[in-house]
Amino acid sequence: MGTNQIIVIGYVVVGIFAMVGFSALSGNFFMGFVTGLLLIIGAALGHEFTIRRDGFAKVVRGVIGRRETVDRADSAVTRMKAEFEKTVSDARTAREALTSLQALHTATEEQIKELKEQVAQGGGEVVGQMQEAMQQLHTQQQQTSEDIGVIQTAGNQLHGEFQSMQQQLASLQQQMQQMQTYMQDSIQQVHATVNAMMVDGGTAAPPPPPTPEAAPRPVETAPVVETVPAPAEATPEPEQAAAQPESRPAPAEAAPAAAGSDFTASVFQALQDQLGGLGDSPADASLRAVAEGLIGDAVDLYVEPIVTLPDRKPTFYECYGGVRGSDGNALTIDEDLDTSGHEQLMGAIENALMIRCMERIEKLDVSGIEAGKCFYNVPGVTLGDRGFFGSLLGHLQNRPDLANRLVIEFTQSALMEHGEQAVEDLVQLQECGCGFSIDEITDLAIDFESLVGFGFRFAKVGSKFIRVQANTADDPESVRTLAATLKAMSIDLIVENVETDLSLVELIAFEIAYGQGPLFGQPGISQG
């Protein structure tokens, strides 16, 4: 039997029991029968309703499930349609690309055909040229191998000669030390003899200054002032120097230190004497005009401020001279003119210009600047003129006010060339109040400690040189380190030719003490 039949039988049994129960309770069999029958009918109807309700729910759920299936099918159809359309578009694009490739293939085949025809026509000539070129390369390779062998042989010979030269140099240094010792002994003997002679005459001479200990000269290139130690004793007064024998090896033509007017007159007399050798060439005419302007005192002193950084406060002046012509315009010697053969006249012009500038520096009002120092660049030709430079020392010793306000500049190249001969004069110039600066530095391999011993307190470099050092050095802090190192040695770094605010920002970042250039003020003519 099915489930529904069992349920119906259950309802009947329950109805019969209800019928019997109600009949017994009420005592009326008919009423109990009707009540039980109604109960059976109600239970049957309720069961049927439940069955039909569940079936209806199943039908509704089936309809909903089919609707969802239809929706999913529609979505799938839509996607398939979109993919189909994309596939059709891709196929159309691929067909167009294939058509282009077929056209390119056809053109390439035609070009290959043409190239084959050209190779067939000129292939033999090309192969011959290539073979000839390869033969030439082979010949050159053999020649290069022979040249390399010759160079290696020459290099070995040069190495042997270099070792021999090193041995000879060591021997020469030993001989020089011996010669210096011999010369020092000879000088001591001469001093002793002179003292004995003066004692016999009734006048005792002052004792000679102590002779510095001889030091071997280094082989490498370095400023010549490095290897000569500064004398320990101060320079005697001018009156004593006249009675004391000259202890430094000056040339025979060196004039003794004279009074200021006599020294100035001798400088311009030497310039006047040189004019007699001039001719009528443009170069000679240019030199004559400049020399006559110097003799006639047609000279202007130009001053340019040197300022502290970063506050741009003027602290020093850079001074240099200019000669005026008869028309009042500045005269210059054209670098393109041939002035060869007039080296002595060129030196006399430099010396006379220096004297004229110092006359004006001595009268220059420097009350408006903090330090009151004036920088003046002494050219190499003047530094190498031993007679003039020795007399200049006496000139400055007689003018302490001028010496105390001077900072004499020497270029690195001038010190390399003439510094050794002038080292004793540098020491005496320092003692009479002059300061020193090294200018136009192009190589930082300098013994700055030795320069400090000779009175150098400033070092000048160009802004371009600083920029190159900052951009090419391995250490990005090299410029700041250089400035700090020099400052620790009591040498202040001055950067020249500062033209823009950007350059100024870089200098401030490097902690450089002083700056000079168009950004801080153009050179002007002193009215003093």
Per-residue pLDDT of the chain (528 residues; tens, 9 = 90+): 667 667 778 777 877 887 777 777 777 777 777 877 887 888 778 777 777 777 777 777 887 887 888 888 888 888 888 888 888 888 888 888 888 888 888 888 888 888 787 767 765 665 677 677 777 777 776 776 676 776 777 667 766 666 667 666 666 666 666 655 655 555 555 445 445 544 444 434 444 444 333 333 332 323 333 333 333 333 333 333 333 333 333 332 333 333 356 888 999 999 999 888 888 888 888 899 999 999 999 999 999 999 999 899 999 999 999 999 888 888 887 776 777 778 888 889 999 999 999 999 988 887 777 777 899 999 888 888 888 888 888 889 889 889 999 999 999 998 888 878 778 888 888 988 999 999 999 888 888 988 998 889 999 999 888 888 887 766 667 788 888 899 999 999 999 999 999 888 888 888 899 999 999 998 988 866
At 241 the pLDDT is 33
Assess whether 145 and 263 both reside in one domain: no
Distance separating alpha carbons of residues 412 and 472, to the nearest angstrom:
22
Q: Which of 90, 120, 149 is the last residue of a domain?
A: 149
Assess whether 143 and 240 both reside in one domain: no
| C-alpha distances out from residue 32 to 22, 40, 45, 129, Å | 5, 12, 20, 135
Asked if 418 contacts 451 with a C-beta cutoff of 8 angstroms, the reply is no
At 299 the pLDDT is 93
Assess whether 375 and 487 both reside in one domain: yes
Domain membership of residue 349 (yes or no) is no
Q: Which of 149, 171, 196 is the last residue of a domain?
A: 149
Assess whether 236 and 379 both reside in one domain: yes
Model pTM score: 0.51
Domain membership of residue 479 (yes or no) is yes
Q: What is the DSSP string of 210-231?
A: PPPPP-PPPSS---GGGGSPPP
Q: How many domains does the chain have?
A: 2
Assess whether 385 and 491 both reside in one domain: yes
Domain membership of residue 202 (yes or no) is no
Assess whether 387 and 266 both reside in one domain: yes
Distance separating alpha carbons of residues 256 and 254, to the nearest angstrom:
7
Residues 6 or more apart whose CB falls under 8 angstroms from that of 399 comprise: 260, 362
Domain membership of residue 221 (yes or no) is no
Domain membership of residue 293 (yes or no) is no
Residue whose structure tokens are 């001469």: 190
Assess whether 4 and 130 both reside in one domain: yes
Assess whether 257 and 390 both reside in one domain: yes
At 240 the pLDDT is 35
**Which structural domain range is residue 486 located in?**
232-275+306-321+365-521
CATH number where 469 lies: 3.20.20.450
Domain membership of residue 344 (yes or no) is no
Distance separating alpha carbons of residues 278 and 289, to the nearest angstrom:
11
| C-alpha distances out from residue 236 to 216, 243, 247, 428, 496, Å | 28, 10, 12, 10, 38
Domain membership of residue 401 (yes or no) is yes
Distance separating alpha carbons of residues 409 and 448, to the nearest angstrom:
15
State the Cα torsion 8-10-13-16 to the nearest 10°.
Answer: -60
Assess whether 135 and 252 both reside in one domain: no
Assess whether 264 and 139 both reside in one domain: no
Residue whose structure tokens are 């130009």: 302
Identity of the amino acid at 394: G
Assess whether 124 and 241 both reside in one domain: no
Assess whether 117 and 249 both reside in one domain: no
Asked if 394 contacts 258 with a C-beta cutoff of 8 angstroms, the reply is yes
Q: Which of 95, 118, 149 is the last residue of a domain?
A: 149
Distance separating alpha carbons of residues 309 and 498, to the nearest angstrom:
12
Domain membership of residue 196 (yes or no) is no
